[in-house]
Amino acid sequence: DQQVKQNSPSLSVQEGRISILNCDYTNSMFDYFLWYKKYPAEGPTFLISISSIKDKNEDGRFTVFLNKSAKHLSLHIVPSQPGDSAVYFCAAVSDSWGKLQFGAGTQVVVTP
């Protein structure tokens, strides 16, 4: 069963505007959430993470919000840049060994 879900397969946003990517999960044992970015022909690269004891984490243009009661997290990219065009994966772990459970990904296209 899919415990991490990204229900939007694609997102198109204008350069300079905000990109908001959403992710839902079903397993309340998850204690760490991560976002990965993937370009074609490359492996996923770590973007930003958040512990389940926090509700917000910020790193430059990227902010992740966690709503534990709703089992929902989101990634905000402000401002969006053409280089942000990629597939973004939401992932979650329930132990310190990093056995990641991924969502299906959201393809982001940033247009000029």
Partner 1 sequence: ETGVTQSPTHLIKTRGQQVTLRCSSQSGHNTVSWYQQALGQGPQFIFQYYREEENGRGNFPPRFSGLQFPNYSSELNVNALELDDSALYLCASSSVDAWEFNEQFFGPGTRLTVL
Q: Please identify, using beta-carbon distances, which residue of 79 and 101 lies nearer to partner 1.
A: 101
Half-sphere exposure (Cβ direction) of 93: Cα atoms closer than 13 Å = 12
Q: Please identify, using beta-carbon distances, which residue of 69 and 97 lies nearer to partner 1.
A: 97
Half-sphere exposure (Cβ direction) of 81: Cα atoms closer than 13 Å = 5
Residues lying near partner 1 in the complex (CB under 8 A) = 4, 6, 32, 34, 36, 41-46, 49, 89, 91, 93, 96-105
CB of 112 to partner 1, least distance (A): 27
How is residue 64 written in tokens? 């992740």
CB of 96 to partner 1, least distance (A): 5
CA distance 44 to 46: 7
Q: Any idea which residue has 């946003």 for tokens?
A: 13
Q: Please identify, using beta-carbon distances, which residue of 98 and 112 lies nearer to partner 1.
A: 98
Q: Please identify, using beta-carbon distances, which residue of 62 and 102 lies nearer to partner 1.
A: 102
Q: Are 17 and 110 in contact (CB under 8 A)?
A: no
CB of 6 to partner 1, least distance (A): 8
Q: Are 30 and 94 in contact (CB under 8 A)?
A: yes
CB of 16 to partner 1, least distance (A): 29
